[in-house]
């Protein structure tokens, strides 16, 4: 079987660093996901609801798309619809040219990988910089992402340090915080000087025309806030009908992807900067990419379009754990875009059964992927359909990619098994023949080339198969059925069922929960009275020797706060300023269950105040803490804003060896002062 896929697999299996990296990924991610879901006892029910929501979107794609496009346009996005990859690239190039763009700052988007955007933009003379830490690492190494969520999961810290040393000229280090700091510094320059910010889209909300982008590091917020032009790239199927559905997906996606209750950042985008705003892009474009999706809707593989790209199936998959993302190559040995179980269905579905159909054969069909999928996609069923022909299931012939020996062997086996007489004769013959091969052992040592013999021995078939023994069984001598003692009913395993979540009905309960959740995210929560606020903030700044802050305007903060800080000698600016070390903002609301701050942009409320500085200080009123995400999403101010940031703790990454590091692109510290007057 010396084909390119098998050769690539063998390379992976022999790569010791890769094996260590992949084991670490699987262990941390599987545990993390399980722990995260323990906090929502109705997980299975949510999963079924999510499945239904996604099924509805895919079944009624045209109608939803029409409504979504209309709302997004009303909100102020310029919408472009690309039928295929080439058209999408052309449209993006056109937008960039119209704006005389030279530097494109990019946050993670799998669609851009799918349409090979980076290379084509570079070929057109543009500089394209990936700003997600993992993507940045693979970009400077000249590689493709090996995972849809953690692109550099195939690397160990030493390899990343070596890459940084070679490509960026920094001293060799294996300290993850040091490497992260290097990337932060370099990429900060990119954010500030980029003409174009390019992002993906996690969800498009049909009822509100909201474009939702979720990231942890803060690069998603940067590219959608700082450069003058924002282009969002979205697969046409990534819609949810309502805000309720968005809240549902927000409870599932981060838990499945990284074991977080919520991503650190979610941007809810409705349109470009308004005349009275101090930051935000002046143009927002949405490029909707079909690239084979519409055609898939009526095929046996339609269910794969339900995917929300969390990567949980990759982490759960024992095959991905052995071979890593780069081994999922096409027939010519070139790397594909989507690895793992999802890729083994999606790649043949979108890019061709002939080129990618073999991937689905590298699965033991163990079902760990389906079990991990937050929208309950029946991946084993789809993998089997790909094996049987993919979008066209073969009902007459043997499909492509079935190895010749298997084709012959199974045809013969089926012919034998169709006739009980042939079957029984064959059993008899193998029973006798195997005793010629292995006369003195109950095991047969098959050669490695048989596949089986590579790592295990084969049991010697019985001389008298069961059916023969059964026929000869003396019915008279059969045991009389014995009485079985009555036993209590078996109790279902109750150990793993968590208790129902507390309803956060009172302000005090919500406040306490917010505190607990924020602390778990390494944020700082302080309750105080309004009269103490200025003093406490000043003390915090003093402690960090910070003398200047970028703040929301006085009208959007508690009365007298800025005046008080000014009196104490703090310099205050309102325009985006990358030199300032602390940002001071209010918050429209806080979400207790995830410690999320809800910050709608608007006049006097620059979004960059919570993004550019190292330290973010937010003032939140206790009565503004709402119990759950849905309540926050439905606040009218969110819907009315050009952009709203949802912030849950300090900026973080785990892109190098799954090791949590704070302060990548956004603030390293988040301090919430909660007014309890």
Partner 1 sequence: MPETVQLFITCIVDTFYPEIGQAVVSVLERAGVQVEVPKNQTCCGQPAFNAGMRVQAREMAIQTIQVFEAAPGPVVVPSGSCAAMLRHSYPELFAADETWLPRAKALAERTYELTEYLVDILGVTDLGARFPGPLTYHSSCHLLRELGVDRQPKALLGAVQEAGGSPSENFTLVQNLPLPHADECCGFGGVFSVEHPHISAAMLERKIANIESTGAPTVVVCDAGCLMHISGGLHRRGKKPRVMHIAEILAKR
Q: How far is the CB of 293 from partner 1 (least distance, A)?
A: 23
Among 479, 496, 505, 579, binds partner 1 (CB under 8 A): 479
- The yes or no reply on residue 6 touching partner 1 (CB under 8 A) is yes
Nearer to partner 1, 157 or 428 (CB): 428
Binding positions for partner 1, 505-534, rule CB under 8 A? none
> Which sign, positive or negative, has the C-alpha torsion 573, 575, 579, 582?
positive
Strand partners, 551: 584
Binding positions for partner 1, 415-454, rule CB under 8 A? 416-418, 420, 423, 427, 430-431, 443, 445, 448, 450-452, 454
Cα-to-chain-centroid distance, residue 539: 39
Nearer to partner 1, 185 or 452 (CB): 452
- The yes or no reply on residue 481 touching partner 1 (CB under 8 A) is yes
Among 100, 298, 440, 478, binds partner 1 (CB under 8 A): 478
Q: How far is the CB of 653 from partner 1 (least distance, A)?
A: 28
Contact characters 112-131, partner 1, x per CB under 8 A: --------------------
Nearer to partner 1, 490 or 503 (CB): 490
Q: Minimal CA–CA distance to 269: which of 647, 590, 641?
A: 641
Among 335, 367, 548, 604, binds partner 1 (CB under 8 A): 367
Phi, psi of 605 (to 5 degrees): -125, 65
Phi-psi region of 324 (alpha: psi -120 to 50; beta: other; left: phi over 0): left
Binding positions for partner 1, 140-199, rule CB under 8 A? none
Among 281, 389, 586, 600, binds partner 1 (CB under 8 A): 389
Among 41, 76, 228, 399, binds partner 1 (CB under 8 A): 399
**Residue 239 contacts residue 657 (beta carbons within 8 Å):** no
- The yes or no reply on residue 467 touching partner 1 (CB under 8 A) is yes
Total of chain residues touching partner 1, rule CB under 8 A: 85
Nearer to partner 1, 370 or 616 (CB): 370
Measured CA to CA, the distance from residue 230 to residue 612 in angstroms comes to 18
Among 44, 193, 282, 364, binds partner 1 (CB under 8 A): 364
Among 167, 456, 566, 571, binds partner 1 (CB under 8 A): 456
- Between strands 669-675 and 524-528, the pairing is parallel
**Residue 645 contacts residue 666 (beta carbons within 8 Å):** no
Q: How far is the CB of 29 from partner 1 (least distance, A)?
A: 14
Nearer to partner 1, 414 or 436 (CB): 414
Measured CA to CA, the distance from residue 399 to residue 343 in angstroms comes to 19
Measured CA to CA, the distance from residue 261 to residue 525 in angstroms comes to 18
Measured CA to CA, the distance from residue 219 to residue 195 in angstroms comes to 15
- The yes or no reply on residue 404 touching partner 1 (CB under 8 A) is no
Place of tokens 């992002």: 199
Q: Quick one: which H or E segment has residue 158?
A: helix 157-168
Q: How far is the CB of 125 from partner 1 (least distance, A)?
A: 43
Q: What is the dihedral of CA 257, 260, 264, 270, to 10 degrees?
A: 60
- Between strands 210-215 and 265-269, the pairing is antiparallel
């Amino acid at each position: 079987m010396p084909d390119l896929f098998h050769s690539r697999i063998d390379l992976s299996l022999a790569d010791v660093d890769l094996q260590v990296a992949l084991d670490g990924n699987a262990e941390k991610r599987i545990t993390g996901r399980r722990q995260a879901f323990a906090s929502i006892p109705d997980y299975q029910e949510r999963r079924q609801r999510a499945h239904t929501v996604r099924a509805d979107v895919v079944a009624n794609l045209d109608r939803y798309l029409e409504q979504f496009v209309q709302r997004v346009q009303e909100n102020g996005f310029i919408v472009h619809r690309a039928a295929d990859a080439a058209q999408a690239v052309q449209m993006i190039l056109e937008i960039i040219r119209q704006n005389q763009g030279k530097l494109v700052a990019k946050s993670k988007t799998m669609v851009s990988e799918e349409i090979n955007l980076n290379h084509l933009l570079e070929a057109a003379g543009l500089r394209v910089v990936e700003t997600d830490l993992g993507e940045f690492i693979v970009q400077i190494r000249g590689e493709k992402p090996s995972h849809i969520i953690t692109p550099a999961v195939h690397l160990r810290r030493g390899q990343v340090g070596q890459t940084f040393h070679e490509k960026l000229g920094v001293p060799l280090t294996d300290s993850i915080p040091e490497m992260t700091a290097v990337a932060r510094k370099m990429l900060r320059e990119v954010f500030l000087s980029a003409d174009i910010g390019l992002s993906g889209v996690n969800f498009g909300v049909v009822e509100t025309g909201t474009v939702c982008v979720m990231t942890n590091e803060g690069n998603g917020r940067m590219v959608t806030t700082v450069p003058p032009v924002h282009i969002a790239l979205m697969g046409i199927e990534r819609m949810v009908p309502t805000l309720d559905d968005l809240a549902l997906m927000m409870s599932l996606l981060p838990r499945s992807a990284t074991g977080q209750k919520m991503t650190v950042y979610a941007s809810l985008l409705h349109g470009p900067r308004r005349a009275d705003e101090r930051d935000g892009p002046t143009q927002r474009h949405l490029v909707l990419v079909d690239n084979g999706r519409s055609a898939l809707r009526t095929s046996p593989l339609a269910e794969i379009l339900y995917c929300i790209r969390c990567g949980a199936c990759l982490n759960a998959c024992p095959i991905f754990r052995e071979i890593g993302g780069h081994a999922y190559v096409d027939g010519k040995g070139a790397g594909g875009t989507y690895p793992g179980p999802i890729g083994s269905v999606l790649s043949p579905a979108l890019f061709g059964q002939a080129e990618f159909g073999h991937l689905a054969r590298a699965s033991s069909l163990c079902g760990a992927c389906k079990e991990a999928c937050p929208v309950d996609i029946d991946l084993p069923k789809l993998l089997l359909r790909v094996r049987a022909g993919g979008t066209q299931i073969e009902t007459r012939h043997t499909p492509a990619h079935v190895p010749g020996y298997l084709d012959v062997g199974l045809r013969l086996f089926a012919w034998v098994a169709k006739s009980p007489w042939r079957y029984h004769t064959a059993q008899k013959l193998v029973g006798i023949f195997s005793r010629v091969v292995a006369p003195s052992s109950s095991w047969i040592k098959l050669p490695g080339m048989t596949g089986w013999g590579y790592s295990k021995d084969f049991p010697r078939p019985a001389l008298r198969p069961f059916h023969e023994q059964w026929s000869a069984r003396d019915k008279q001598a059969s045991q009389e059925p014995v009485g079985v003692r009555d036993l209590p009913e078996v109790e279902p395993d109750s150990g793993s069922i968590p208790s129902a979540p507390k309803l956060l009905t009172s302000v005090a309960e919500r406040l306490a929960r917010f505190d607990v959740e924020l602390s778990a995210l390494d944020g700082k929560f302080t309750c105080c009275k309004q009269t103490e606020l200025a003093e406490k903030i000043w003390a915090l700044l003093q402690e960090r020797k910070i003398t200047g802050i970028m703040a929301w305007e006085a009208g959007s903060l508690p009365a007298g706060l800025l005046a008080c800080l000014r009196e104490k000698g703090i310099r205050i600016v309102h325009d985006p300023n990358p030199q300032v070390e602390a940002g001071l903002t209010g918050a429209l609301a806080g979400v207790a269950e995830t410690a999320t701050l809800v910050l709608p942009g608007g006049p006097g409320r620059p979004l960059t105040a919570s993004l550019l500085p190292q330290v973010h200080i937010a003032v939140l009123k206790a009565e503004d803490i709402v119990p759950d995400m849905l309540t926050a999403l439905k606040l009218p101010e969110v819907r009315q804003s050009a952009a709203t940031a949802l912030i849950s703790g300090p900026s973080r990454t785990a892109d190098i060896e799954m090791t949590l590091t704070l302060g990548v692109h956004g603030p390293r510290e988040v301090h919430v002062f909660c007014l309890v007057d």
